[in-house]
């Protein structure tokens, strides 16, 4: 009896997500086809489509992001050390990018820009971007990328304009490539290990994912990454957490920036590979006339910071995904390098 009840619950919970659409090699034109949401425009997920957050996130021109995970019933993701969970075939990772603009004190308008999907096909992960229409009623598949010029209100209340770029399919790969395959970046256990305000209760996400049978477990020894905005945390931990999620997917031995020899992934410990007194290789103008990626104690002489401050496409890092400068991160990395001890140059 219990067994049947469980089965019933599962099928009821998941019946409405279109599993076939997730697996199909003919990519749906409309986001609504997948059936991830009860209310698409309000981004209210169906049961079984679980919202989540990350501790330290990738900067995308100050866009807000709503994340959801969907794992088909009776399947579970497995824990992999120092990696994202190994999600089963049929999984969807859903991320909606939006900007909010304060019109008046009581009136904030949220504009949905795009919804990105990472779909676990039978043989691989597929990346797709759906761009929202002006009416905000539907999002449509866009493989070639798109420029969206819009406005938002920043944390200080300033109204700002942004030339937001929806990535084309190849740009998705630039960040999500590991060797020859595409992999998710965000949902690593250490980056999920925090509380989330679920509708009925507040709960640790990893505990919730276990309860929901999204994952089959995780070691209790998982050390959460630092929230890079959390001033109570050690600056080294904050800086490394930020660099790992913003740079480390390309700047790793298997990533798109493997040829640079500069590795900022979370597990890298070798000083030279982390950029300490490492000369640039093929930086061109990106060197800014400076000799090393990081000069301990001297942020102004450090190429790493110079490239974070720039918005010139030949200089700026990351190469894609931002057109604005992430001031809060620049401040953090400045402090980090300034406090760093090492041989003076």
Question: Which residues sit at the interface with other proteins, rule CB under 8 A?
Answer: 143-147, 163, 165, 168-171, 173-174, 177, 253, 256, 258-259, 261, 272, 278-292, 303, 312-314, 319-320, 323
Question: Which of 71/305 has CB closer to other proteins?
Answer: 305
Least distance from other proteins to the Cβ atom of residue 309, Å: 16
Question: Which of 87/164 has CB closer to other proteins?
Answer: 164
Question: Which of 71/166 has CB closer to other proteins?
Answer: 166
Q: How far apart are CA 169 and CA 156, in angstroms?
A: 34
Least distance from other proteins to the Cβ atom of residue 18, Å: 23
Least distance from other proteins to the Cβ atom of residue 66, Å: 24
Least distance from other proteins to the Cβ atom of residue 272, Å: 6
Question: Which of 220/270 has CB closer to other proteins?
Answer: 270
Helix or strand (DSSP H, E) at 6 = helix 2-14
Interior CA angle at 295 toward 235 and 343, to 5°? 95
Least distance from other proteins to the Cβ atom of residue 125, Å: 14
Q: What SS3 state is found at 106?
A: coil
Least distance from other proteins to the Cβ atom of residue 56, Å: 24
Question: Which of 217/253 has CB closer to other proteins?
Answer: 253
Are the C-beta atoms of residues 208 and 225 closer than 8 Å to each other?
no
Least distance from other proteins to the Cβ atom of residue 189, Å: 28
Q: How far apart are CA 174 and CA 184, in angstroms?
A: 12
E-strand ranges in the chain read: 37-39, 44-45, 49-52, 64-70, 92-104, 107-120, 125-132, 139-141, 146-153, 159-166, 177-178, 181-182, 195-197, 202-204
Q: How far apart are CA 192 and CA 51, in angstroms?
A: 12
Q: What is the DSSP string of 192-208?
A: H-SEEE-SS-EEEHHHH
Q: How far apart are CA 100 and CA 37, in angstroms?
A: 21
Residue 110 makes CB contacts below 8 A (sequence gap 6+) with 64, 98, 99, 100
Question: Which of 64/319 has CB closer to other proteins?
Answer: 319
Question: Which of 199/284 has CB closer to other proteins?
Answer: 284
């Amino acid at each position: 009896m219990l067994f049947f009840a469980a089965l019933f619950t599962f099928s009821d919970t998941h019946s409405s997500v279109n599993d076939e659409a997730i697996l199909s090699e003919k990519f749906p034109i409309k986001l609504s086809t997948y059936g991830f949401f009860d209310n698409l425009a309000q981004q209210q997920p169906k049961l079984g489509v679980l919202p989540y957050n990350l501790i330290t996130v990738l900067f995308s021109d100050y866009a807000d992001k709503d994340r959801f995970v969907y794992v088909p019933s009776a399947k579970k993701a497995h824990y992999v050390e120092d990696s994202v969970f190994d999600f089963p075939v049929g999984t969807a990772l859903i991320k909606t990018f939006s900007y909010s603009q304060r019109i008046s004190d009581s009136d904030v308008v949220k504009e949905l820009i795009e919804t990105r999907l990472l779909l676990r096909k039978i043989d691989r992960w597929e990346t797709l971007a759906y761009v929202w229409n002006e009416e905000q009623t539907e999002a449509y598949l866009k493989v070639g990328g798109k420029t969206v010029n819009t406005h938002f209100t920043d944390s200080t209340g300033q109204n700002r304009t942004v030339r937001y770029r929806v990535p084309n399919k190849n740009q998705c790969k630039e960040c999500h490539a590991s060797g020859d395959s595409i992999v998710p970046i965000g949902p690593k256990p250490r980056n999920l290990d925090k509380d989330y305000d679920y509708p009925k209760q507040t709960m640790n996400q990893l505990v919730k994912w276990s309860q929901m049978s999204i994952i089959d477990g995780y070691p209790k020894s998982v050390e959460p990454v630092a929230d890079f905005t959390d001033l109570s945390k050690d600056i080294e931990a904050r800086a490394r957490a930020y660099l790992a999620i913003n740079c480390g997917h390309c700047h790793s031995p298997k990533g798109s920036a493997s040829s640079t020899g500069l590795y900022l992934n979370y597990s890298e410990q070798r000083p030279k590979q982390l950029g300490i007194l490492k000369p640039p290789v093929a930086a061109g103008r990106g060197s800014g006339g400076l000799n090393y990626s990081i000069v301990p104690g001297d942020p102004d002489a450090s190429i790493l910071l110079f490239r974070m401050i720039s918005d010139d496409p030949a200089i700026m890092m990351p190469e894609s995904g931002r057109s604005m400068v992430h001031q809060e991160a620049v401040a953090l990395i400045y402090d980090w390098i300034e406090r760093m001890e090492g041989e003076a140059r």
